Amino acid sequence: MGRLFGTDGVRGVANADLTAELALGLSVAAAHVLAEAGTFEGHRPVAVVGRDPRASGEFLEAAVVAGLASAGVDVLRVGVLPTPAVAYLTGALGADLGVMLSASHNAMPDNGVKFFARGGHKLADELEDRIEQTYRAHASGEPWDRPTGAGVGRVREYDQGFDNYVAHLIGVLPNRMDGLKVVIDGAHGAAARVSPEAFARAGAEVITIGTEPDGLNINHECGSTHLDKLRAAVVEHGADLGVAHDGDADRCLAVDAKGNEVDGDQILAVLALAMREAGSLRKNTVVATVMSNLGFKLAMEREGVDLVQTAVGDRYVLEEMKAHGFALGGEQSGHVIVLDHATTGDGTLTGLMLAARVAATGRSLADLAGVMERLPQILINVRDVDKSRVTSSEELAAAVAVAEAELGSTGRVLLRSSGTEPLVRVMVEAADIEQAQAVAERLADAVKSALG
């Protein structure tokens, strides 16, 4: 059996891969591991539990709450809120852990369990490994040490979470955005109420799409993975910009007034220069992943901003930022971390800061995003292959070497197995789109041949 935890918690098809029993068992295991690590020492432990609007989140939330309470942890249920809101509330309320039920940008049938440590930070790999080992040991028959009587956890609703989180977002903005017209696509997800409310309180005229979640429509042809409706709405309403979230609102993509996409790299570039101007870009450095467009790297070099690159995954960006005291980092997919104000990627905060920059400068988003030129980049997801052999296949290594020789210094190749889905990602950049497409298709065929 493979490792349960991926790069972003435990994720799978709800009620098939991710069952109520698994969610309950993992929650009990997390409580025991954190207790053994001394997290609960000297006080009665408290957990914050939230979810996105997926239908399966209802029974999975019940399982997680039951597991935590059965292990002696008091639970604050905050309901449907973004992942970064649960992280923020975990820290702000002094809770010992946070739990978010979401599969982020994945389709509705999927769901996931993500744990946050005290302070709202993602759990260290070592703690996740111990939780998994503990879960497996008890799943195979080892009995739990269970509290009784007054020792069991108590459960209560925490209804102030929404207002507390929105107030936090407004409180950290550098300026208001009065007069700005913004379209928000909430992906029928966790930000469907939060993001429009925050933008409105910040002074924007708000038009919404994708803000009517029914438990089944999350991410369906909307949100950050499907920008067509947002493009059309921005143009139709003559808006200054549009902002799109994913299901759990830990990411943000944007479109300019003409409906052109502004991706995570461009957002990072805009915010890096804004933060440098404000004196908050610590060590004059931005952190990104190896998937960032080569154009982003060239733009940062030209602007005199240092760039540190990490493995793909916002957790690795965050680790680098925390280790070296950097203030800004993110991914091309729209995970942007502003560490002074959030412990994880926060799509609503990112959108607010981007819109605030447009308002403060009086420049269009297209003009601001023009600080970098995106080189043509082709990404192909290859499914139904053995992703564990990406780095060990000699046949695949030879195909990559041929591609790199063809591209020379004007492009690059990146192959990686997805941390959250059963597939291999093939990414090719080149100065010419046709060449990038041709090389990517060849490599995708090579992946199928070598790993199929």
pLDDT per position as a tens digit, 102-142? 999 999 999 999 999 999 998 888 999 999 999 999 988 88
Q: Which residue has the tokens 């890096």?
A: 272
* Residue spans per domain, the chain: 5-161, 177-369, 377-451
**pLDDT surpassing 80 at residue 150:** yes
Q: Point out the catalytic residue in the list 27, 56, 102, 104.
A: 104
Q: Report residue 343: phi and psi, to 5°.
A: -100, 0
248 assigned ligand-binding residue: yes
Whether 177-369 and 5-161 are alike in CATH topology: the answer is yes
Judge contact between 231 and 342, C-beta under 8 A.
no
The fold of 177-369 is Alpha-D-Glucose-1,6-Bisphosphate; Chain A, domain 3 (3.40.120)
246 assigned ligand-binding residue: yes
52 assigned ligand-binding residue: no
What average pLDDT does the segment 231-247 reach?
98
333 has catalytic annotation? no
Judge contact between 411 and 435, C-beta under 8 A.
yes
Q: Is the dihedral of CA 348, 353, 356, 358 positive or negative?
A: negative
Q: Which amino acid is at 254?
A: A
The fold of 377-451 is TATA-Binding Protein (3.30.310)
* pTM reported for the whole predicted model: 0.89
pLDDT digits (tens, 9 = 90+) for 29-76: 999 999 999 989 889 999 999 999 999 999 999 999 999 999 999 999
CA distances from 345 to 209, 237, 242, 251, 307 (A): 22, 29, 19, 6, 18
Superfamily grouping for domain 5-161: Alpha-D-Glucose-1,6-Bisphosphate, subunit A, domain 3 (3.40.120.10)
**pLDDT surpassing 80 at residue 1:** no
pLDDT digits (tens, 9 = 90+) for 292-328: 998 899 899 999 999 999 988 888 899 999 999 999 9
Q: Report residue 303: phi and psi, to 5°.
A: -85, -5
250 assigned ligand-binding residue: yes
